Amino acid sequence: MAASPARLVAFDILLQVEQQDAYASELLHSKRFENLSAADHSLATELVMGTLRWRSFLDLEIEHHSSKSLPKLDIEVLIALRMAAYQILFLTRVPSRAAVHESVELVKRAKKKSAVPFANAVLRKVSARPKVDPLGLIADSKTISELVAASAHPQWLVERWVERYGESAARKICLYDQGPPGLALRIPNPQVEAELQREGVVLSPGRLLRAARRVASGDVTSTGVFFAGRLSVQDEASQLVAMVVGKGEKILDCCAAPGGKTRVLAEVNPASKILAAELHPHRARLLRQLVAAQNVEVENIDILQLPVQHSFDRVLTDVPCSGTGTLARNPEIKWRLKPEDLADLQSRQRAILQSSLQHVAMGGRLVYSTCSLEREENEGVLEAVLEENPTFRLVPAITVLEDLQELGELAWPTPKDLTSGPYLRTLPGVHPCDGFFAAILEKVRA
């Protein structure tokens, strides 16, 4: 009997993630797999994301029962073993024998028949272990090393979070990363909300923003308003960054794709002219499709090459970053990222910010943001760039958050909780959202 459609898709996606540095969330929503039934798509998502989230934990379990070291295994065999181990240890509704059988079938499909007896033997040993309580594993860990193993995170990341944010916050970050994050929406008007409810989607209020909604139950992606592009699926912290940009007549969005923040800017500034700059042609095309507002012009251009004479009273510089604040959505990041990568990212981020500052009009403001938890990409970039640009001052984020609260936009009751010094800072698990950083710079003299 061949493996089920969901497992075949999950295996193929995990193989692409390993071999092509692809992103699982993008593959799961690609046209290639859109014909899966709702049940199969749900199972494929569970298998892909669960296997990626718990990869190091699964590898330790496999290695414990393996006669071969994991680096010596063909990647196809290792992926099949990881998928089976995840089902055996974490999924209560999947019988162990089914997980073993279908993963062995995946090994055969990958033309690794010589590895079938080995895979069968390893997985039968794994099957003898009781199911895992993932939340209990993390809660019961006493030392940093135990937390690293129990939460399936790289040790270097956990250690730096403990040093930077404290052990309690680091534990909450790890816990948040190991489960599916809540689904937040940006809904432009009550009519869209009513249509969603008629299609069986139950919504709850936003936790950070009044205009946000959270999906309590139902499948948003199967609704008519979703297919019509009349709402945005966007984390609340991402929405908040765009709200912090504020209002202006001419707005520049420097690294605009995928476009969620651009849509918020257009919604908040319906009479403004917004230039959304995107370096990559295919992402610029997708951005044009997502952001259909008449006041948004999408340009396929490198922000480093935008003519200096262009000036704007509001600029959003949401730079490419490590993404360590989004590991619940993109767990593959934690297995790819290396400490030395942060220096390269910082160099690029400083260049983008330096270029962006040239386009801020007198008295205008620029918001620099990342979805990273790492100091090198956040405070480190700001401190270096501000030292070289004395014509700008740092605006305390608390003042803008309090303004949003006074306007009735901010739902979070204590704005100071969303700050770290002069900066906006959200932490996964500490706050009910992804991890974002933002700094507000104002041009005070020529």
The sheet that has 212-217: what strands, in order across it? 202-205, 212-217, 184-186, 232-233
Which residue in the block uniquely carries the two structure tokens 């929406």? 185
Q: How far apart are CA 91 and CA 73, in angstroms?
A: 25
Q: Is 371 among the catalytic positions?
A: yes
Q: Are 57 and 153 in contact (CB under 8 A)?
A: no
Helical axes 144-151 vs 155-165, angle rounded to 10°: 120
CA 83/CA 78 separation, integer angstroms = 9
Residues sharing a CB contact under 8 Å with residue 411, sequence separation 6 or more, in sequence order: 205, 206, 207, 208, 209, 210, 212
Cα angle 149-154-158, degrees, rounded to a multiple of 5: 85
Catalytic residue among 174, 321, 371, 433: 371
Place of tokens 């959304």: 276
- The 10 Å CB-count burial string (b at 16+, else e) for 83-122 is bbbbbbbbbeebebeebbbbbbbbbebbebeebeebbeeb
Active centre residues (catalytic): 371
